[in-house]
Amino acid sequence: MIEKNNHRRRLKTGETIFYLTVSILLNSLSNALAIVSKLGSAVWTASAVNVSVQCSTNLGDVLIIYAVIVQIINLLIRKKLNWHLIFSNLLFAFLFSYCVQFWTSLLWKTGLASLNFVFRLIIDIIGIGGIAAATSIYQRVNLMMHPNDEFSYLIRFKFVHGSATLGQYLSYIIPVVVMGLCFFKGGYLISIGWGTLFALFFQGPLTGIADKYIFPCLKHPILLKN
C-alpha cells in the first residue's frame, strides 16, 4: 500500500514491479557481499552455505529446498491454502536463490575477498544492512516474498504484536538449529563470523528502521488496517 498526505491506495502494476525488482536484486547482491567478505553471512544464508558444503550441493539448490520447507511451515501458520501465494513466493525464492549464486560467483572474481579485515568488515555490514532494507521493501509490498521472510513476517504480526526485532529473532531458530547439526556432523562451520552475529542481533531492528526511512510512503497493509 502507498500512503501520501493521509491518502491510501493500492500499488499500481508498475510500482509493484519496480519495488519487487529492487528488493530481489538488492537482497541477492547483499547476501553475496556478505558471503564474499568471508566474515559471516546472514543467518539463513550462512546455514545454507554450511549445508551445501557438507552435502557437496549447489548453494542455489539448498536455498530452494529451504524455501520449500519454510513455505510449508508458513501454510501451517496461516491455516489457509493459497496457491497464488505459494507459487509467487516460491518463484521469488527461485529468482533470489540463483541470483545469489550468480552474484557470489561474480564477486569472487573481483578480489573483494582478499581485502584487509577492515574493508571486508565494512562490506559485510553493508551486505547485512542491504538484506534488511530489501526485506523491508518486499514485506511492505506483500505480494510475493521469500518464504523465510514471510516466516518472520507472520511471526511478527501474528505472535509478537508487530515487533520486527522479535519476529526476526524467533524466525532464526530453524537455521541456528541446522547450523548446530552441521557442526555436530562435521566438527566445523563456515560463513559464520562477525557478520552473522551482526545479522543475528541487528537485522531485525534494521528492518524496522528501513520501514520508516527506505521508501517511507510504502506501508505494511496490516498496519494500515490497524
User: For the residues of 112-124, what is the DSSP string, one character each?
Assistant: GGGS-HHHHHHHH
pLDDT tier at 103, thresholds 50, 70, 90: very high
Among candidate residues 12, 49, 28, 14, the one with its CA nearest the CA of residue 146: 28
Give the Å distances, CA to CA, from 31 to 57, 98, 99, 129, 152: 18, 12, 10, 10, 17
Percentage with pLDDT > 70 across the chain? 98
Q: How does DSSP classify residue 39?
A: S
Checking if the pLDDT of 165 tops 70, the result is yes
Residues 6 or more apart in contact with residue 173 via CB below 8 angstroms? none
11-49 confidence digits (pLDDT tens)? 888 999 999 999 999 999 999 999 899 888 888 888 998
Domain extents for the chain?
2-225
Percentage with pLDDT > 90 across the chain? 41
- Other CB atoms closer than 10 Å to residue 123's CB: what's the count? 20
What sign for the dihedral angle of Cα 153, 155, 158, 159? negative
Q: How does DSSP classify residue 159?
A: T
Tell me the average pLDDT of the chain.
Answer: 88
pLDDT tier at 195, thresholds 50, 70, 90: confident
pLDDT of residue 137: 93
Q: Mean pLDDT, to the nearest integer, of 126-135?
A: 93
pLDDT of residue 224: 47
pTM of the model as a whole: 0.81
Q: How does DSSP classify residue 2?
A: E
Checking if the pLDDT of 222 tops 70, the result is no
Checking if the pLDDT of 225 tops 60, the result is no
pLDDT of residue 226: 45
